[in-house]
Amino acid sequence: MGVRFGIMGTANIARKAVIPAIQNAQGAEVVSVASGSGRAREFAAEMGIEHYHDSYEAMLDDESIDAVYIPLPNTLHKKWTIAAAQKGKHVLCEKPAAITARDAMQMVQVCEENGVIFMEAFMYQFHPQHEIVREVIASGEIGDVKHMRTNFSFYIGDKPNNIRLNSELGGGSIWDVGCYCIHSSRFIIGSEPLKVYAQASIPKEVGVDLSAAGIFTFANGVTASFDCSFERQMSNSYEILGTKGSIHVPFAYRPDAPGAGGLIRIKNSEGNVREEMAEGEQYTLMVEHFTRCVENKHTPSYSGEATINNLKTIEACYESINKNQPVELV
């Protein structure tokens, strides 16, 4: 039978990516969707989901559901993660899990107290291209890693009602796409930043960062830089620079996009380039990892502690932007 999922909300990310991933994953199925806007019945029919609920509370009371996926606006993640955990439901929560590290700590604690699995849905990390990158680094092929560059941007256009532009719902380019850059720097480098300095473009009429950039200094001496934006064409890549070579991943976060793919380019000190290609459906791989953790009562490879540390770094970026100075992470 597998893990039975309920979907809390009718967001596009659920429709386009996560629901199909659950439906395709081994050991998982979508049994219900809930919406407080009256759209649950229509959405369920569209997605081929048998049951629906007209409130989130009703879904959490449904004993046929083992786990919930939460794709609600960022500011609602804490409330409904805690409510789900208290009803004994495992939680796969869309990124960012919360808009403060303190909120994430409370979410993780409540999940632990109620014996349920919690995982933030940073899907990109489950694509096999990143494991190849880490293996190349570990082999010493590019020497000692000295710097990592990351970027994630897309053009949002004239969409004033887009929740990504709503400060009250946790909008902003760092929260939406820069979080991937920050996450991948920590994930690939394998260390936590000691200091961050970030700047951003925050038009008064918008109230959120449309573009941002920053640099990190890590505990192991490596530095990393990131830039993210709602004002530029699609770009989602990272590059790792070592003493003997470099690694470039041109579709680091969305290898599933049309014309993309899990391409890795490794260049040596003489300028010779070799390429490797990794295949995998990152959303499905994420769901399958989560369901295995639920079934076996294992802590996810992406732990609650890692989620909290990522949020601490994001908060430090915003603190640096507001103060216009470097910020040290304790």
pLDDT tens readout for residues 218-239:
988 899 999 999 999 999 999 9
Q: What is the mean pLDDT of the chain?
A: 96
Q: What is the mean pLDDT of residues 291-316?
A: 97
Confidence of residue 161 (pLDDT cuts 50, 70, 90): confident
How many residues belong to the chain?
Answer: 330
- Does residue 259 come out as left (phi exceeding 0), alpha (psi in the -120 to 50 range) or beta? left
Measuring CA to CA, which residue among 260, 305, 244, 252 is closest to residue 108? 305
Q: Is the pLDDT of residue 89 over 90?
A: yes
Q: What is the pTM of this model?
A: 0.95
CA 205 from centroid of its chain's CA atoms: 28
Share of the chain above pLDDT 70, in %: 100
Q: How far is CA 298 from CA 34, 116, 119, 283, 291, in A?
A: 27, 10, 11, 19, 10
β-strands 262-268, 67-70 pairing: unpaired
At 90-111, the pLDDT tens digits run 999 999 999 999 999 999 999 9
Q: Is the pLDDT of residue 1 over 70?
A: no
**3-state DSSP call for residue 259?**
coil
**3-state DSSP call for residue 208?**
coil
Query: What is the Rg, in whole angstroms, of the alpha carbon atoms belonging to the chain?
Result: 20
Please count the other Cβ atoms lying within 10 Å of the Cβ belonging to residue 161.
6
At 20-50, the pLDDT tens digits run 999 999 999 999 999 988 899 999 999 999 9
Q: Is the pLDDT of residue 158 over 90?
A: no
Q: What is the DSSP string of 94-157?
A: ESSS-SSHHHHHHHHHHHHHTT--EEEE-GGGGSTHHHHHHHHHHHTTT-SEEEEEEEEEEE--
Helices 304-323, 101-113: axis angle to 10 degrees equals 170
Measuring CA to CA, which residue among 164, 184, 156, 310 is closest to residue 254? 184
Contact 217, 193 (CB under 8 A): yes
Q: What is the mean pLDDT of residues 122-147?
A: 97
Share of the chain above pLDDT 90, in %: 92
In which element (H, E) is residue 44 found?
helix 40-47
Which pLDDT score is estimated for 38? 87
Rounded to whole angstroms, how far apart are CA atoms 282 and 149? 22
Q: What is the mean pLDDT of residues 168-172?
A: 91
Which pLDDT score is estimated for 219? 86
